[in-house]
Amino acid sequence: MMHPGIRHVIIAIMGIVVVVFMVILSSCDRCSQKSSTSGETSNVSPEVQRLARGKLVYNANCISCHNRNPKLPGSIGPDVFGSSKELLTARLLYGKYPDGYKPKRESHLMPPLPHLANEIEALTAFLNAQ
């Protein structure tokens, strides 16, 4: 038979273990809350993501002819800052201009780039930002 004194000591130790466990749990809780809030603040808005995507697509596909700064003329293409979604769609998908649009250049050097159909939204955002 266990000495009753020892049983009290064991119960006390178990109590301490439970308290320590709860403290660890609650501090972990706080950790995860903290990390989830910091996750939220580092989460960029869809608008910012679209802009970044547009810049990426522009740099990868357009600056061989247009300027890296879309407000300036490029090596063979004109400045394209402020291009509407309609203009970009006509140029990229069909190599055309919207009805009644007066092109900046009379040349026909730019090939259609229909593989960028899904990027027109992002390009429009980038070319109209600032």
Binding stretches for ligand HEC (CB under 6 A) = 61-62, 64-66, 76-78, 80, 83, 87-88, 91-92, 103-105, 107-110, 113, 116, 123
Q: How far is CA 59 from CA 64, 68, 111, 117, 126, in A?
A: 8, 7, 17, 16, 11
> Which of 8/96 has CB closer to ligand HEC?
96
Nearer to ligand HEC, 92 or 125 (CB): 92
- To ligand HEC, the closest distance from the beta carbon of 120 in angstroms equals 9
- Distance in Å, CB of 46 to ligand HEC, minimum: 21
Helix (H) or strand (E) holding 35: helix 4-42
- Total Cβ atoms within 10 A of residue 70: 26
CB nearer to ligand HEC: pick between 5 and 100:
100
CA atoms within 13 A of residue 17's CA, in its CB half-sphere: 6
35 or 59, CB closer to ligand HEC? 59
Tell me the Ramachandran region of residue 97: left when phi exceeds 0, alpha when psi lies from -120 to 50, beta otherwise. Answer: beta
CB 130 within 8 A of CB 69: no
CB of 119 to ligand HEC, least distance (A): 7
The amino acid at 36 = S
At closest approach, how far in Å is the CB of 47 from ligand HEC? 19
